[in-house]
Amino acid sequence: MKTLNELVLQQESTWLMVQEWVTKATNNVEILPANKQDASKVLHQLQVTTKSFLGVVSYYTGGILVEHGWLRFLGSGSDRLPRSLTSWNGFDSTGKSPRMQSSILIADDAVGGFYAMNGSAFEGKPGEIYYLAPDTLEWESLDMQYSDFLKWAFLGDVRKYYESFQWDNWVEDVSRLDGDKGILIYPFLWAEGKASANRTRAIVPIEELWNVNMVNRENLGIQ
């Protein structure tokens, strides 16, 4: 296992690139401050360097909120986003098994969509990002690596990507949402029926949204 000194590189070109993307962002982006002790622990547990984009997000941020918190990138945790990459995936010292075998959950959205970076859980390339879409309950490849996904979140058309899930006052609702919460839409987005804007919404723990997705996938026979 590498030491923290081996993981934190003096050359900060990757972090500077992320900061440049934030400056140029066409979407609403908020970098949450990192607690140095927590960030050091998370980076050490992940065993990635700050040359990687995953490494700089985990070490230099407490997380990143995009589009008023609709999309949440996990970092080392903060008051606004009280989950870290390691705690959410079960890689901390509590003895939990990883939430996903051979992949790591790196981001999620307010309505229960989850993003994973492939290790070997999916057939695609290592490092490729997959999205568990709440309207299909299938893991879909984005054909992007983590760095591409991060850049797209800052500069891409995120609102168009999510427009079928959103409602008139979603910005106000999501802005008040804690980072460990999500919005359960019922009937579920994968079920036929009314437009999502006309379905019932309730604030629930993000853990509940994850569990509901897993149970529904099993009940529907989705592998």
Q: Which has more confidence, 25 or 12?
A: 25
Quick one: pLDDT at residue 81? Answer: 98
Rounded average pLDDT over 159-171 = 97
Q: What angle do CA 25, 26, 27 make, to 5 degrees?
A: 90
Query: pTM for this one?
Result: 0.96
Q: Which among 30, 20, 110, 25 is positioned nearest to 64, based on CA atoms? A: 30
Quick one: pLDDT at residue 95? Answer: 43
pLDDT digits (tens, 9 = 90+) for 178-190: 999 999 999 999 9
**Would you say residue 92 has pLDDT above 70?**
no
Confidence of residue 44 (pLDDT cuts 50, 70, 90): very high
CA atoms within 13 A on the CB side of 90: 10
CA atoms within 13 A on the CB side of 201: 20
pLDDT digits (tens, 9 = 90+) for 1-13: 899 999 999 888 9
- Give per-residue burial for 96-110: e unless 16+ CB within 10 Å, then b: eeebbeebbbbbbbb
DSSP 61-114: -SEEEETTTTEEEEBS--SSS--BHHHHHT-STT-PPPSSTTEEEEEEETTS-E
Domain boundaries, the chain: 4-219
DSSP state of 50: T
* Six-digit token string for 62: 């407490």
